Amino acid sequence: MSRVRDDERDISAPMPELPEVETVMRGLTPLIVGHRIVRVERRVQRLRTPLPATLPARLTGHTVTRLTRRAKYILGDLSSGDTLLIHLGMTGGFFVREPSENLFKHDHLVLHLSNDTRVAYHDPRRFGQFEVIPANTINTYAALTQLGPEPLDVAFTPAVLRAALMAKKTSIKAALLDQHVVAGLGNIYVSEALHMAGIHPERQAHDITVPKIKKLHTAIIEVLTRAIAAGGSTLKDYRHPDGELGFFQNQFLVYDRADQACQTCGPKTKTAHKIVRIVQNGRSTFYCPRCQG
């Protein structure tokens, strides 16, 4: 009896943010770097953006020589000089498909490599993106040039963060989701960082005091660093590129914990405050009214 191939469950909302993208990039590296691409299967017309018709031709016969990450983008240096740009959207991931097994329903792009392996890009919600950026033009690619600083780069300082926040006329939540302010944060880690810094998500970005900005700067770096160390925080069965199941239950302090007791102030007090969920700009925000009053 053949296994069911097209009903992978619980790939809901893994929402790869910077740490998850970093983890996918690291896991993908040994799978594809140095192995010539001998064939490319383009199985759908488009993801969030059209899957370039030229993609197979631009990849076939070439080799990814290095993978790096910028914000939530994975960048692959190709032996042709071009750059492969990948965004995982909300549910994108890579999986090795054994020669004997059938592809999955949402395996939208399959790379056949010179070592006789095949790596599939799997993305149920099709919010991902693939582009091939011509040689020597990567530095002018708009989606990359407009990004704010990498939060784990030394260039990301409290002063840089403050300057960006002072110019914003939005809530601090919305400001941190803006990739121009700082690159790589998404809905989960914004809530987490604001909690760690003790900042109410509805406070105006330009009203945050310098001490709080310093705490926020530290919190952003800390939460991302921890998540990368943990292999990318995971929701449900978010998977690594080699197909291994994600290994941690979510260990977030506030995200998706509405009505649950706050882990931060709860142990310190007798009356446990509950995490609150609000909607800002159409996106969920979670916070503790006491810690982030």
Partner DNA sequence: CTTTCGTCCTGACTGC
Partner DNA sequence: TGCAGTCAGGACGAAA
Give the per-residue contact string, 249-288, with DNA (x = CB under 7 A; - = no): ------------------------------x-xxxx----
Dihedrals phi, psi of 264, to nearest 5 degrees: -85, -55
Give the C-alpha separation, 164 to 155, whole Å: 13
Q: Choose the catalytic residue: 126, 214, 236, 283.
A: 283
72 tagged catalytic: yes
Residue 182 engages DNA in binding (rule: CB under 7 A): no
- The least CB distance from residue 236 to DNA, in Å, is 9
Query: Exposed (0-12), middle (13-18) or buried (19+): which is 2, by Cβ within 10 Å?
Result: exposed
Q: Choose the catalytic residue: 58, 72, 239, 257.
A: 72
Query: Exposed (0-12), middle (13-18) or buried (19+): which is 178, by Cβ within 10 Å?
Result: middle
Contacts 24+ apart (CB under 8 A), 264-267: 264/195, 264/288, 264/291, 265/290, 265/291
Residue 19 engages DNA in binding (rule: CB under 7 A): no
CB 192 within 8 Å of CB 223: yes
Residue 132 engages DNA in binding (rule: CB under 7 A): no
Size of the site for DNA (CB under 7 A): 39
Residue 69 engages DNA in binding (rule: CB under 7 A): no
16 tagged catalytic: yes
**Would you tell me which residues interact with DNA (CB under 7 A)?**
6-7, 9-13, 15, 17, 46, 48, 71-73, 87, 89-90, 105-106, 124-127, 143, 167-170, 174, 177, 179, 186-188, 279, 281-284
